[in-house]
Amino acid sequence: MFELSHASLDHGKQRVLHDISVNIAAGEKVALIGPSGAGKSSLLSLLWEQSPADIALCPQDSALVDILSVYQNIYMGALSRHGNIYNLLNLIRPWADRRREVSMIAEALGIGEKLKTSPDKLSGGQRQRVALGRALYRKQPVFFGDEPVSSLDPAQGDELLSLVLGEHDTAVVAIHSPELALKHFTRLIALQHGRIVGDWPADTVTLDQVSSIYSGGPSVQAVDNAR
Partner 1 sequence: MRAELASEVSTASRLARLSGGFIVVAIISLFIADIHFYRPDPWQELGRIGLGLITPYWPDIPELALALGHTVAFALLAVAGSAVLGLFLAMWFHWRIVRVFAASIRSVHEVFWGLLFMQVWGLSATTGLLAILIPFTGIFTKVFADILHQQSPQTVQTFGNAPRISRYVYGLIPKAWPELISYVRYRFECALRSSAILGFIGLPTLGFHLETAFKQGQYSEAAAVLWVFLLLIGSVRLWLRPKLIPLFIAAAIWVLPEMPPVNASFFWQFITEDLWPKALQRGDLIATGQWYGNVFMSDVWPALWQTLAVTQAALVLSGLLALMYYPFASRWLVGGFRPMGRFKLLVLRSVPELMLAYVFMLIFGPSALPAILALGIHNGGLIAFLLANNSEDAARVQRPDSPTGAMRFFYQDLPQRYPAFLALLFYRWEVIMRESAMMGVLGIATLGFYVDSAFEEIRFDKAFFLIVMAAVLNIIIDSLSRRLRRRSGLRTPLM
> Applying CB under 8 A, which residues contact partner 1?
48, 52-59, 61, 63-68, 72, 76-77, 79-80, 82-84, 87-88, 91, 131, 134-135, 138, 140
Query: Would you say 117 or 186 has its CB closer to partner 1?
Result: 117
Rounded Cα distance between 215 and 123, Å, is 28
CB of 65 to partner 1, least distance (A): 5
Shortest approach of partner 1 to residue 118 CB, angstroms? 10
CB of 92 to partner 1, least distance (A): 11
Nearer to partner 1, 172 or 213 (CB): 172
Least distance CB 88 / partner 1 (angstroms): 6
Nearest residue to 58 via CA among 154, 155, 127: 127
CB closer to partner 1, 120 vs 224: 120
Residues 140/172, Cβ–Cβ less than 8 Å: no
Task: Give the sign of the dihedral formed by CA 125, CA 36, CA 73, CA 57.
Answer: negative
Strands 187-192 and 29-33: parallel
Cβ density class 95-124: b for 16+ within 10 Å, e for less = beebeeebbebbebbebeebbeebbeebee
Phi and psi of 143, rounded to 5°?
Answer: -120, 130
Any idea what the Cα angle at residue 157 is, between residues 151 and 159, rounded to 5°?
155
Nearer to partner 1, 37 or 52 (CB): 52
SS3 59: coil
Nearer CB in complex with partner 1: 24/44: 44
Question: CB neighbours (10 Å) of residue 167?
Answer: 18
201 by Cβ neighbours in 10 Å (0-12 / 13-18 / 19+) ranks as exposed
Q: How far is the CB of 57 from partner 1 (least distance, A)?
A: 5
**CB closer to partner 1, 30 vs 57:** 57
* One-letter amino acid for residue 115 of the chain: L
Least CB distance from residue 68 to partner 1, whole Å? Answer: 5
